[in-house]
């Protein structure tokens, strides 16, 4: 299940893709609030990896450029 990108706040455990500005064109994937777990040289590859893991683990995927504003990329979390 995916949704149209929208603003909001990730929940604990959700995957966040962010551009590592100090590293140039490197994109990191991390659990929300945690350190980078893996990096990619393209945003497309980072998002594809995050979507795959999130679908398997029933998590949501978010993207941020600034660490403050988050955009929903994919929704897999089951409603509680």
Return the pLDDT at 42.
93
DSSP per-residue codes, the chain: ------EE-PPTT-EEEEE-GGGSS-EEEEETTS-EEEEESSHHHHHHHHHHHHHHHT--EEEESSSSSEEEEE--PPP-
Inter-residue contact 28 to 41 (CB < 8 Å): no
The whole model's pTM is what?
A: 0.83
Domain parsing of the chain, residue ranges: 7-74
How far, in Å, CA of 42 to CA of 62, rounded? 16
Q: Per residue in 30-71, pLDDT tens? A: 999 888 899 999 999 999 999 999 999 999 999 998 889 999
Return the pLDDT at 23.
62
């Amino acid at each position: 299940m995916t949704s149209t990108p929208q603003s909001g706040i990730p929940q604990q455990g959700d995957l966040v893709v962010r551009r590592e500005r100090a590293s140039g064109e490197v994109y990191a994937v991390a659990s929300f609030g945690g350190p980078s777990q893996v990096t990619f040289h393209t945003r497309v590859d980072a998002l594809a990896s995050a979507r795959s893991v999130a679908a398997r683990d029933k998590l949501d995927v978010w993207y941020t450029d600034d660490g403050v504003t988050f955009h929903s990329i994919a929704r897999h979390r089951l409603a509680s």
